[in-house]
């Protein structure tokens, strides 16, 4: 399979201005947990920024193409072709959208298995899908190049460290700037806070790769 064929099957990878690598966006409107949280005041999904981009027809069409493609029997093969073609040691899953079901996660894991030279970061709110997968295949610490970060559903809430640990994953939460100095979450220090909103980083990752590092058990993202 060549790169053009792989793009035709998968809808291609996503480029974001913040990330140091490509990602793979699917519709946020198809997030199972996220769509419920969007209706909850104070949730991390209440003001989800990804909906803004889906207003553009070409973006929405590509996202729909991608989510439809995940059931294609050649999807794993095609994703591996695209990732190897990038020649980038990092990749992020779902800058928009989330896991759809256990089979989706199984296929992602297979992509990571076939690309051991790449560190994969997968943020998710889909705890039930993670548990279903773990019951079938074991917990996730067995995958050395896959960093799954279980997201916390409410702003300024404590990270789900216990649940994350039971699954063999790590976690993240969202904190407003006024809470940083108070350190009310008791699981954050300045080393664990995403630096993207600092003046130095200007909204970008730059040289930071904390999200891809399992040693950072919790990453705190500053609310925006």
Domain ranges in the chain are 3-222
Structure tokens at 211: 């999200």
Q: Rounded distance, CA 22 to CA 12, Å?
A: 10
Q: How far is C-alpha 134 from the chain's CA centre?
A: 18
pLDDT at 179: 56
Mean pLDDT, range 135-146, rounded to an integer: 96
- Please state the pTM of the whole predicted model: 0.89
pLDDT at 58: 77
**Among 45-49, 83-87, 136-140, which is the least confidently predicted range?**
45-49
pLDDT digits (tens, 9 = 90+) for 27-56: 988 898 888 978 889 888 878 777 766 666
**Average pLDDT value for the chain:** 87
> Does residue 223 surpass a pLDDT of 90?
no
pLDDT band for 180, please (50, 70, 90 cuts): low
pLDDT greater at residue 158 or residue 109: 109
DSSP letters, 122-160, are EEE--HHHHHHHHHHH--GGG-TTEEEEEEPSBTTPPP-
For strands 119-124 and 146-151, give the pairing: parallel
pLDDT digits (tens, 9 = 90+) for 107-135: 999 999 999 999 999 999 999 999 999 99
């Amino acid at each position: 399979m060549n790169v053009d064929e792989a793009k035709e099957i998968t809808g291609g990878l996503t480029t974001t201005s913040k990330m140091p690598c490509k990602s793979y966006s699917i519709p946020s409107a198809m997030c199972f947990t996220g769509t419920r949280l969007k209706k909850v005041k104070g949730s991390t999904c209440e003001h989800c920024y990804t909906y803004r981009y889906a207003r553009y027809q070409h973006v929405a069409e590509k996202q729909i193409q991608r989510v439809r493609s995940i059931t294609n029997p050649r999807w794993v093969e095609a994703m591996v072709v695209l990732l190897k073609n990038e020649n980038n040691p990092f990749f992020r899953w779902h800058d928009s959208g989330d896991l759809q079901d256990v089979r989706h996660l199984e296929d992602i894991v297979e992509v990571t298995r076939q690309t051991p030279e790449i560190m994969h970061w997968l943020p998710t709110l889909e705890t039930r899908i993670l548990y279903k997968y773990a019951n079938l295949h074991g917990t996730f610490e067995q995958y050395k190049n896959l960093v799954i970060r279980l997201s916390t559903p409410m702003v300024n809430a404590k990270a789900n460290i216990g649940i994350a640990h039971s699954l063999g994953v790590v976690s993240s939460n969202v904190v407003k700037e006024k809470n940083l100095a108070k350190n009310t979450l008791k699981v954050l220090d300045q080393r664990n806070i995403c630096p993207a909103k600092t003046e130095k980083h200007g909204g970008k990752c730059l040289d930071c790769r904390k999200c891809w590092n399992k040693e950072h058990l919790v990453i705190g993202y500053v609310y925006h």
